[in-house]
Structure formats: structure tokens, C-alpha cells
Chain A
Amino acid sequence: MKDCEVIESSLGAWLDGELDRSEAERVRIHVQECPSCLGEKERLERLQASLKGVLEGGASGLAFEPFWDGVRQRILERKPWHARLWDWARPAFYPQRLAWAIPLVIVFLLGILSLEQFFPGWRWGLNRGNVAAVDSIDGHGFNVAVFRESKTKTTVIWLFEDQEDENESSGESASTDSSF
């Protein structure tokens, strides 16, 4: 009897196929042997069939067109103006339609960059007036040039290496090494 109560609480899940294998097998064997639980199982099956029938019957007269008209009307009515504008423009931004946009952007950028050839001194507005003003160049007797662009900014550039001196000195050291 106690076993029947336990099985009964699992009958629905068993019929729904939601029990694990061993549990399902336990319920199946019990139902085969127990007339009371078999009756309960059949009542559950009839309940399930009636429920499905009643709910499907309730939707039997449902036509698609009026249903869709209602949905579409809501979509059109409740959209704010900017959303409708975006919907109108959005097809132009579909990935497959963006194929033409990529070469167009490249051509546009190349055109902008080549403008300087035709209009010397034209700098696209970004670097205008940003030419470095060199205050002084000091050599100080070394191989460096020092640019002072302002009081705070100084650029030091190594102008050249004294190749000959360096080669000579390395040659001497090499011959010294070989003598050992």
C-alpha cells in the first residue's frame, strides 16, 4: 500500500517520460502487477487526452489572417517615429548589401588623402599650424644635433657614426687578439 502511494506520485512523471531508467522500470513493473495503480495510470491517460482535446477544440476556430492583422496593427501603431525611420533605412545596412559600402569607403579615404597633391599645403584641417618651429641647432662638437622647439621640448638626433675610426680601432683589437 505504501509502495502504491510512492508509485502513484511518480505515475505522471513516468507517463511523461521524465523518470530515469531505473525508476521508470520500477514503476512499470509495479503497474503491471498492481490493478489499482494500473487503473490510476489509465485515468491519468484519459485526463491528459481530454485536456489536449478540450484545449485544441478551443483553438479550432482560430483563423490566421485576423490574428496576424491584430499583431501587425500593434507593430505599426506602437512604433515611435525614429524606430519606423530606422526600419525604413535598415535594409541598406544588411551585411550582404554592405558589400558595396566597403570599396566606397576605401575610395573615399584615398580621395581625401590624395587631395594634398592637388592642393599643396592642404592638410585636412588636422595638422594645420602644427609645423615644428626650430629655435636652434647645437652641434657642441659631437655627432649630434639638438633641436629646441620650445623651452620645454628638446629633440636630440644622432647625425652619424664615425665609421672609419670605429673600423680602425676594431681592426687593431682583432690583430692583437690573433697574435695571442
Chain B
Amino acid sequence: MELSDWELVQRCQQGEIAAFQELVVKYHRKVFMVVLGIVNHREDAMEIAQETFFRAYRNINGFKGGSSFYTWLYRIAVNLSIDFQRRQKRSPVEFRETMDDLMDKGEGAKLANDPYVDVQGREIGKRLLAAIDELTPDHKAVIVMRAIEGLSYKDIGRVLGCSEGTVMSRLHYARKKLQEKLGPYL
């Protein structure tokens, strides 16, 4: 029988690392995607996602179940990613393997059967990533959480510590920007 997140959290609070491992199994991919969407760099995303789980483990006794575990986890991930982005802007790295490079290598895009569709898909993917990268971290966070997880505006608001109205307006703005950048490709 599969245990609920709260049951797993309670076991973690009693020191069962195996229960925490189950939570990592369940959420590592989604957390990684959210972080990757914000920082646009695979290795950095890996580091931040691992740090997210480490911090969740360290503070698990402080989690009282008032909100869902995943919103709590995403809050840690998004805060770490946004902090990282702000630090990066202050001290940019010369060479960074971005998602664009991965797309070129064929690692970042799902391959289609039709070569034309495949190339077009990669082109859209590259442009989309470039467009996301130009958004502010707050706008990236809303668009990524909505796209990957389909989180409700209420949950996104909980993660980011803002109102549903703010989430709605940020999403509208971010989508508008992405549509402008992608133009004829959509």
C-alpha cells in the first residue's frame, strides 16, 4: 500500500531515512524540472535540486502538515533557484552549458518520428528556452510550475508567498512575453 506524503513525512520525523528516500523518488524529477526551468543549466539545476532535498530533510521536523508537502518542497526549490539566479547575475560565468546546448545535442528534446517535426520542435524548444531565460525569476517560477505540475494558482501563490491575483497577472505577462518571442513558431 502506498503511503501518503504526510505519513512518509511523519516517518522521516521519526528518523526513517528510507521514508525520505521514497519522497525523493516521488518528487526528484518534478523538483529538478522546476529548478531547471528557472536556472536553465543542467548541472546547476542538479546541485540546487539536491540541496532542496537536503534542506527539506534537515528541516523536516519543522513541517507540521499545514500545507501539502510538495508546496513546501517547491517553496524551498524556488527560493534556492531564485537566489542562485540573482547571485549569477552579479557574477556571470563565462561559459555555461545551457539547455540550448542540450537541445543541440538532442538530449533536451523529445524526438519525433518525422524529421521535419523533429527539427521544428527543436527550433521551438531552443527559442522557448531563450525566451524563458529572459523572464525575471518570479515570472519563470510561475510559468514553470504551471507548465510542469499544473499547480493551481492557489498552490503557486502558497509556494511564492503571493496572492492568486498576482499569480494570474504574472502568468498572463509571462505568456504574453513568450508568445511575442516565439511569434510565428506557435
Binding site for B on A (CB under 8 A): 9, 12-13, 16, 18, 43-44, 46-48, 50-62, 64, 67-68, 70-72, 74-75, 78, 87, 90-91, 94
Interface of B is mostly: helix
The answer on a CB contact under 8 Å between A59 and B54 is no
B33 and A56 form a contact (CB under 8 A): yes
User: Cβ of B172 and Cβ of A57 under 8 Å apart?
Assistant: no
One of B24, B99, B121 near A68 (C-beta < 8 A): B24
Which 7 A-B residue pairings sit nearest by Cβ, starting from the closest?
Answer: A51-B147, A74-B54, A70-B50, A90-B15, A54-B125, A71-B53, A59-B33
Q: Total number of A-B contacts with CB less than 8 angstroms?
A: 117
Give residues 92-136 of B contacting A (CB, 8 Å): 99, 102, 107-110, 121, 124-125, 128-129, 132
Q: How far is the CA of A61 from the CA of B33 in the complex (A)?
A: 11
Name which residue of chain B comes closest to A48, CB basis.
Answer: B147
Q: Are A54 and B28 closer than 8 Å at their CB atoms? A: no
Complex contact B182–A47 (CB within 8 A): yes
Interface residues on B, range: 35 or more
Taking CB atoms, residues of chain A closer than 8 Å to B76 are none
CB-CB under 8 A for A18 and B168, given A67-B24, A70-B46, A94-B14? yes
Report B-chain residues with C-beta under 8 Å of the C-beta of A54: 99, 108-109, 124-125, 128-129
Decide yes or no whether B160 CB sits under 8 A from chain A.
no
CB proximity of A61 to chain B, nearest CB, Å: 6
Would you call the interface of chain A mostly helix, strand, loop, or mixed? helix
Inter-chain contact A9/B172, CB cutoff 8 Å: yes
B32 located at the interface, meaning its Cβ lies under 8 Å from any Cβ of chain A in the complex: yes
Q: Which of A46, A55, A68, A74 contacts B37 (CB 8 A)?
A: A55
A87 to B46: give the CA distance in the assembly, Å.
Answer: 27
**Contact present for B33 and A55 (CB under 8 Å):** yes
Q: How far is the CA of A47 from the CA of B185 in the complex (A)?
A: 10
User: Does the CB pair B54–A75 fall under 8 Å?
Assistant: yes
Flag whether B186 is at the interface (Cβ < 8 A).
Answer: yes
**Inside 8 A of A12's CB, which chain B residues have their CB?**
168, 171-172, 175
Choose one: A18, A48, A72, A75; the contact of B152 (CB below 8 Å): A18
A55–B36 contact, CB under 8 A? yes
**What sequence of 0s and 1s flags, for each residue 47-83 of chain B, a beta carbon within 8 Å of any chain A beta carbon?**
0011101100110000000000000000000000000
Could you name 10 residue pairs across A and B whose Cβ atoms are closer than 8 Å? A9-B172, A16-B146, A16-B171, A51-B144, A53-B121, A58-B33, A58-B108, A67-B32, A71-B50, A78-B54
B50 nearest CB neighbor, chain A only: A70
Report A154 CB to chain B, min CB distance, Å: 55
The residue of chain A having its C-beta at the shortest distance from the C-beta of B172 within the complex is A12
Known: A9-B172, A67-B24. 7 other contacts (CB 8 A): A50-B125, A51-B178, A52-B148, A53-B110, A55-B36, A70-B46, A87-B15
Interface centre among A52, A53, A64, A67 (most CB of B within 10 A): A67
Residue of A nearest to B106 (CB): A57
